[in-house]
Amino acid sequence: MIISRCLAVLSLLLPLTAAAQPATTLPEPVTRALAQAGIPESAIGVYVHEIGAEQPVLAIGAERALNPASSMKLLTTYAGLELLGPAYVWNTDVLTDGTLTQDVLAGNLYLKGSGDPKLTLENFWLLLRSLRARGVREIRGDLVLDRRLFAEELQDPGAFDDQPTRPYNTGPSALLVNFKAVTLTFIPDAASRTVRIATEPPLPQVQVINNLKLVDGPCGDWVGKLRLDSQGNADSARLTFNGTYALDCGEGMRSFSVMGHRQYIGALFTQLWKDLGGTFSGQVRDGATPDQARRLATARSLSLSEIVRDVNKYSNNVMARQLFLSLAMNNGATTAAAANSVKQWLALKGLAVPELVLENGSGLSRIERISALNLGAVLLNAYASPVMPELMASLPVAAIDGTLRRRLKSAEVAGQAHVKTGSLSGVRSIAGYVLDAQGNRAVVVFMVNHANAFNAQAAQDAMLGWVHNRDSSNCCGRQEQRRGSRK
C-alpha cells in the first residue's frame, strides 16, 4: 500500500521535473510562420516565463543581444516609475525679475522648463492665460527660455531615417512645447473640387504651399500621395504639397516637426500672447533664470503614471526621450548620464544586463541592445514591484488599444495580452504579459533582427496565441505546484 502510494506520488512529480526545463524548440505554428516569412531561427530571441515558475517555459536564442526597437521603452518607463514615482510631475514655471505696474511688466519674462514630456498646445495656452489673469498684458522685456536642465546635445532630426519633419524625430529639450509641431488638416471640398489645408497652430514662420488636386477613387496611401517637399531651417519652414488627395479619404490629419526649439517657442508665444490681447516686442533668447526671480504662473504636467501610458500604448519616442533624460537627475542632463542612472538602478535590483546598450531609451536607435532573457528578467522583476499596476496598465492590450488595437481581433488571446511592440527597419519585437486560459500569467519576449523582420508579425501573433492556449497545468515547475496545491 505504501509502495503504491509512493509510486503514485512519483508519477505526479516526474512530469513536473521534466517540465521544469525550458523547451528548446519553437511551437509548430511559430516555426511555420517564421519559415513563411523567410526568417531563420538564428535571427530571433524568444523567452517565455510563467510568473511564479522557477524555470522559463521557452528560451531560444534568449541570450542574443538584439535591437529591441520600441520594446526598450519598457525598461525606460519601469525605471522612471521606480526612480521618480508614479505621482511625479514636471513643472514649467513663468517667472520675472521685473516689476508689474498696473498691467505693464517692466522686465524680462522667464520660461523655465523641467523636461515636461507633454506640454501640449492647449496646456501652453492655459499657462499664458493664467499669466494674463494675474494682470500681465504688456511685456517690456525679453522672453528668456531656461532650458538648462537638459544639456544641449547635437541633434540632427534627419539622421535616423532622413525624415526630419516627422514628429518622432524631434529631439528632447528641457522646454519642449507641443512636440515642436504643427498639425495640418486636409479638408476636401467636393463642390469646389479643391482641398483646403488648415494649420494648427497658425504660425507666420511656417508657410504651407497647397498645390494639391482633388481626385476621385479609393483613398489608399493618402500620405504618400501628398508628395511633400519640405524646406526650412531653425527660424522658418516651408511645406509644399504637389500631389493628389482622394475625396473618399474625408478629412485627414498629419503633424510636422518644424523650426528649432527656441524659435518655435518664440513664434508660438508671440502668436498666442497676441491672441490673448497681450503685447510683446522684446527678443526671445536662451538664458538662466535669476535666483531672485519670482514665480508668476506654473503649468503642472500629467502624473508619470499617466505619461507612461502615452509612451507605451502609442510608442511615443519624444516623450520616452524626455523621461529618459529626466532620470539623469541633475542639471545639464545627458543621455550618457541617463543611461548610467538606469544601469545603476538595475544593479541595485540585482539585475545583471551586461549586453545592455542605451542610446536614448526610446528604441528609436540602430545601436540599442538587450537580450530577450534579460528583458524578460526585467518584466519578471517588474511584476513583483509596487509600480506593476501602473506599468502593466500602460501597455497596449491585444485587439483593444494602442499599437495592438488592430491585431489579433478574432484570436482567443484578444484582450488577454498586455504587450509592448517595437518596429524598425529590420527589427520587430513584442514584450509583455499574457494571461493563459488557466488564469496564469506569463512574460513573453520575442525579438527579430533580420532583413525580413517586417514579415514577423504572424509568427509573433502565433506565439501570443500559443502562450494563451497552452496547457500550463503540468508546466514550468511553478513553486506553488512543487509545494502542493492548497484547498
Domains and CATH numbers, the chain: 13-86+306-483 (3.40.710.10), 90-301 (3.50.80.20)
C-alpha cell at 248: 473618399
What whole-number distance in Å separates Cα of residue 181 and Cα of residue 470?
A: 46
Give the pLDDT of residue 1.
46
Give the pLDDT of residue 476.
52
What whole-number distance in Å separates Cα of residue 217 and Cα of residue 80?
A: 48
By the 8 A CB rule, do 266 and 203 touch? no
Give the pLDDT of residue 100.
96
Give the pLDDT of residue 15.
42
pLDDT (tens digit per residue) in 60-105: 999 999 999 999 999 999 999 999 999 999 999 999 999 999 999 9
Q: 386-397 burial string, b = 16+ CB within 10 Å, else e?
A: ebbebbbebbbb
pLDDT (tens digit per residue) in 163-195: 999 999 999 999 999 999 999 999 999 999 999
Beta bridge partners of 34: none
Give the pLDDT of residue 9.
41
Number of Cβ atoms within 10 Å of the Cβ of 247: 15
In terms of Cα–Cα distance, which of 190, 199, 253 is closest to 222? 253
Positions of the chain with pLDDT under 50: 1-19, 477-487
Give the pLDDT of residue 21.
75
Give the pLDDT of residue 223.
95
pLDDT (tens digit per residue) in 205-255: 999 999 999 999 999 999 999 999 999 999 999 999 999 999 999 999 999
Give the pLDDT of residue 401.
97
Give the pLDDT of residue 13.
41
This prediction's pTM: 0.92
